[in-house]
Structure 1
Amino acid sequence: MELLVNPTWTHVCEISAIPKLGSRVLSRTTGNVAIFRTESDKVFALLDHCPHKGGALSQGIVHGETVTCPLHAWNIALASGEACAPDVGCARRFPVRVENGAVFVALGEDA
């Protein structure tokens, strides 16, 4: 995970705009970002690209704090972006914060 010393936070949406156990996509020219919401209202952001074959993680099934890629059923941990064993790989993770129902993502310099 990259360490952002002074992150620039981008307002993405209200948390209510992300369905529970679902996602919302932030379109970018450098790669879309999938923002996920768990049943317990935790919010995570990953590059919308499975480390296995590039499937859109935003189209996967969220369960607990993981998402299952729709292409080949790889499970990706939302908190770290790491593929769950026995699979190996990592999707880029982006820091997220929720303030007063608003979701912000630190996208880095390539926002």
Structure 2
Amino acid sequence: MEKVLNKIFVAKVNELPEQLGRTIEAGGLELAIFKLASGDIRVIENRCPHKGGVLAEGMVSGEHVFCPMHDWKISVVDGNVQDPDTGCVKTFDVEVENENVYVYIPEK
């Protein structure tokens, strides 16, 4: 059975600071949105799998965010935690249309 996804407006591109995270709410979820130096926009779960650190408050480097609590390095592209730490966070598909940023959230 195919998952149904809801397309939800979350921001304007020019509202997003480069290489800084921001907490957003979409589809009842708390997410972290990042505009990378490359201009790519990525959305992931906003809690580190280690101790629940708020990832939107972490430092961004390339395609990774560092958890502000214990410095775990997490990919904002695939959600995987870098070795030697383990775990992952969910990632969400993003679409930009006419400078509007949308995220796709699975329907409950």
TM-based fold match above 0.5: yes
Match of 2:74 in 1: 76
Stretch moving more, 5-14 or 43-52: 5-14
Q: TM-score, normalised by structure 2?
A: 0.90
Report percent identity of matched pairs: 35
Partner of residue 62 from structure 2, selected from 64, 70, 80 = 64
Deviation at 1:100, TM superposition (A): 2.0
More strand by share: 2
Deviations 1:77-96 (A, max 9, x none): 00011101111100111111
**Contact 2:22 2:57 (8 Å CA) reproduced:** no
Deviation at 1:28, TM superposition (A): 5.5
Change (3 A) 1:28 1:10: closer
Query: 2:73 & 2:89 partners in 1: Cα distance?
Result: 11
Q: Equivalences for 1:14-93 in 2 at 5 Å?
A: 14-27=12-25, 30-93=28-91
Deviation at 1:29, TM superposition (A): 8.2
Deviation at 1:27, TM superposition (A): 2.6
Q: 4+ runs of 1 displaced by more than 2 Å?
A: 4-7, 27-31
Deviations 1:52-102 (A, max 9, x none): 111000000111000000000000000011101111100111111112211
Amino acid of the residue matched to residue 9 of structure 2? H
Match of 2:10 in 1: 12
Match of 1:102 in 2: 100
